[in-house]
Amino acid sequence: MNILHMKYACEVAKAGSLSKASEVLLVAVPNISRSIRELEADLGITIFERTTKGMILTAQGAEFMGYAKGILRQIERVEKLYREGLPARLNFSVSVPRACYISEAFARFSGMLTEDAADIYYMETSSQHTVDSLLKGEYKLGIIRYAEDYDRYFRAMLEEKGLDCELITEFSYCLMMSADSPLAGLEEIKYEDLSNYIEIAHADHFVPVMPFPEDEKSERPDNIPRRIFVYERASQYDLLSQNPMTFMWVSPATADVLKRYNLVQRQCGENTKVYKDVLIYKKGYTFTELDEKFVAALSDSTREYVQAE
């Protein structure tokens, strides 16, 4: 089947006659007529009924035209695509720990996007997975979290793997719970007060795969007999808001999240360990405009929600 013949047939169907189609196509009527007959022979159907009033589509011809127009539109797109070149698509990717202030920064960053074509990737996961993702080239930016006590180890590990790092913020975990939780009414919360409650924790922080010197399990009081492990934050908020007997150790949350899920956050005086959130990327990597916008939004969110604590 000849594509040019198909194009002629579409123009004849549109014009309603060979002569009018000839004027548009700048092709002689006999040539158009011959092309249509060859097309009909190839397909084994009659596309047009020849009448004194012009060329009228048959039922099969009308059906064929539906397909033909679609095919010609696709061909036109392909020709335009490779004639003019692919439009440049912006790309942004970041792998992060699960934290309200980071997701808040990402939401603000999304509001800075222009109408330019862009692919944006945002993954919440463990520090181990983040490092692996950068080394494999799956993500350009990453944020990892670790206890301050292990700062020298992590910096040496990142250096060995060819990754640069910048400190974002330091903080101590606080407790998040339902506003209706009995814990919320305590003037001071101690580790022993948590023993009768259910801890919500992120499961992938407890998988001993990467040879890091510690995991979060070793950083928590060991008097909690019941734990629920989740992989994403939506479930943790539902659990915390609907079950007043649950709690979770978190980095400082945003006021919007606390209000939305009827939650509160409280300090635990016995928990003095300091954690670091660190931005990482491959050595020699040049930040794009989108990267810069995200880092700016991250800085604003950090000042507002973490450093203000």
DSSP 8-state secondary structure symbol assigned to residue 17: S
What are the tens digits of pLDDT across the range 236-252? 999 999 999 999 999 99
Say how many residues make up the chain.
309
Indicate if the pLDDT at residue 171 is higher than 90: yes
Instruction: Kindly state whether residues 145 and 235 are assigned to the same domain.
Output: no
Q: Give the DSSP H/E element, type plus range, for residue 201.
A: strand 198-202
Summarize the confidence of residues 227-235 as an average pLDDT.
85
Q: Could you tell me which of 84, 106, 110 has the C-alpha nearest to residue 95?
A: 106
pLDDT band at 211 (very low <50, low <70, confident <90, very high): very low
Q: What Cα–Cα distance (Å) separates residue 47 from each residue in 17, 44, 138, 163, 198?
A: 13, 9, 52, 65, 73
pTM above 0.75, yes or no: no
**CA–CA distance, 214 with 138 (Å, rounded to integer):** 25
Percent of the chain with pLDDT over 90: 63
Residue 34 sits in the same domain as residue 97: no
Same domain, 211 and 297: no
Find the CATH number of the domain harbouring 22: 1.10.10.10
Same-domain pairing of 26 and 163:
no
φ, ψ of residue 8 to 5 degrees: the values are: -60, -45
Instruction: Quote the CA–CA distance of 119 and 290 in Å, as a whole number.
Output: 11
Average pLDDT over residues 39-55: 90
Burial class of residue 251 in the structure, from the number of CB atoms within 10 Å of its CB (0-12 exposed, 13-18 middle, 19+ buried): buried
pLDDT at 207: 41
Distance CA 111, CA 89 (A): 18
**Which residue, 46, 67, 84, sits at the end of a domain?**
84
The mean pLDDT value for 175-199 works out to: 94
pLDDT at 296: 95
Q: Given 84, 109, 137, which residue is the final one in a domain?
A: 84
> What is the pLDDT, as a whole number, of residue 231?
80
How many domains does one find in the chain?
3
118 φ/ψ sector (left φ>0, alpha ψ -120 to 50, else beta)? beta
Residue 165 shares a structural domain with residue 302: yes
Q: Indicate which CATH number applies to the domain containing 151.
A: 3.40.190.10
**Which structural domain range is residue 50 located in?**
3-84
Q: Can you tell me the distance from the alpha carbon of 287 to that of 281, in angstroms, rounded to the nearest whole number? A: 9
Do 258 and 197 reside in the same domain of the chain? Answer: yes
Claim to verify: residue 164 and residue 283 sit in the same structural domain: yes
* pLDDT at 77 > cutoff 60: yes
Judge contact between 243 and 178, C-beta under 8 A: yes
Q: Are residues 21 and 163 in the same domain?
A: no
Per-residue pLDDT, 258 = 93
**Per-residue pLDDT reduced to its tens digit, 5-17:** 999 999 999 889 8
* Partners of 275 in the β-ladder: 147, 171
More confidently predicted of 271 and 231: 271
The reply to whether 129 and 160 lie within a common domain is yes
Contact 173, 272 (CB under 8 A): no
Is residue 161's pLDDT more than 50?
A: yes
Report which of 181, 147, 149, 129 is spatially closest to residue 251, judged by C-alpha positions: 147
> Residues 100, 22: one domain?
no
| 139 C-beta neighbours (distance < 10 Å), count | 23
Predicted pLDDT at 309: 58
Residues 78 and 98 occupy one common structural domain:
no
pLDDT of 300 over the 90 cut: yes
Residues 280, 162, single domain; the answer is yes
Helix (H, G, I), strand (E, B) or coil at 114: coil
Alpha carbon distance 68, 61 (integer Å): 10
The mean pLDDT of the chain is 88
Percent of the chain with pLDDT over 70: 92
Choose the final residue of a domain: 34, 66, 84: 84
Q: What is the pLDDT of residue 206?
A: 45
